[in-house]
Amino acid sequence: MSGFSTSGILIRRVDYGDYDYILTFLTHDRGKITVIAKNAKKSMKRFLGILELFSFLELTCSKKTSGGLAVLQEAYQEFPFEGIRKNMIKTAYASYWSEMVYIWLEEHVHQKGLFSLLMYALGALDAGEISPHPLSLLFQIRFMHIAGFAPHFESCSICQLDMGTFSQSKIRFDLEKGAIVCDKCATGIRHCLYLSKGTIKQLIWLQSGNFQMTERIRWSVAAISEGLNFLEAFVPFHIGRSPKSLGVLKQIREAY
């Protein structure tokens, strides 16, 4: 692999030995990449203070080492998003989103939509103009759409009965099928959650509208709670494991 330059969001940083970091970025043109930053912990010139989680950086890397990783030679900080790291709940949400990306996305798979989504979410989180809770609803439901697991809300997955004609106020959602199920077809469902029709309609808007729609939706406390409980169960179920950062996020959110 020859040298290359790109730009990316730092989504994971792991200590390696006494002086090095293993860094994972979500880039705009190369997907997820992992590189090694040699002597980064003691470098006073090249990397001082810029290899921080969630930062957006311009990167220059050399060819792979014998261990298979490209070597980070230079990095320039474009957007530090430092407002995120100064706030515990913002850091917890950004960590959860980053770990979702890290778990699901394979190396070098180009995902322009996912990159745009994470950049928007981190920028809005940093600016503080939108509450982190609805931002997380947006990120998770758009992430699931990109991943190919978008929830189906419009009709019963078995008999195709339109949701608008459901008589019940709370709608059963089958986590395994990734879709709603009417009461008549609910026999034998093992993994389900319940959502109100109002919450479902707001999630549909988030799923289909532009990013800025998050700023215009008026969420009740109950809808936020219901939506988060749903997506924070649905996402781990379909990516195959629960991110460690999700447990931390829930603890911090309870304390706020």
Q: Which domains, and CATH codes, for the chain?
A: 4-80 (2.40.50.140), 83-151+178-255 (1.20.1440.120)
* Cα–Cα separations (whole angstroms), residue 67 to 34, 143, 149: 12, 31, 34
For the record, the structure tokens of 107 come out as 């190396």
| pLDDT of 68 above 80 | yes
Model confidence over 172-228: pLDDT tens digits?
999 999 999 998 998 888 889 999 999 999 999 998 877 777 777 888 999 999 999
Cβ atoms of residues 82 and 44 within 8 Å: no
Sign of the dihedral defined by the CA atoms of residues 115, 117, 119, 122, in that order: negative
Task: Give the number of other Cβ atoms within 10 Å of residue 124's Cβ.
Answer: 21
Instruction: List, in sequence order, the alpha helices (H) in the chain.
Output: 82-85, 88-104, 112-127, 132-147, 197-208, 213-216, 221-239, 244-255
| pLDDT of 67 above 80 | no
pLDDT band (50, 70, 90) for residue 55 = very high
Model confidence over 26-41: pLDDT tens digits?
999 999 999 999 999 8
Total-model pTM: 0.93
For the record, the structure tokens of 134 come out as 């609805």
Residue-level pLDDT at 43: 73
Q: C-alpha 11: how far from its chain's center? A: 10
First to last CA, the chain: 47
Q: C-alpha 204: how far from its chain's center? A: 18
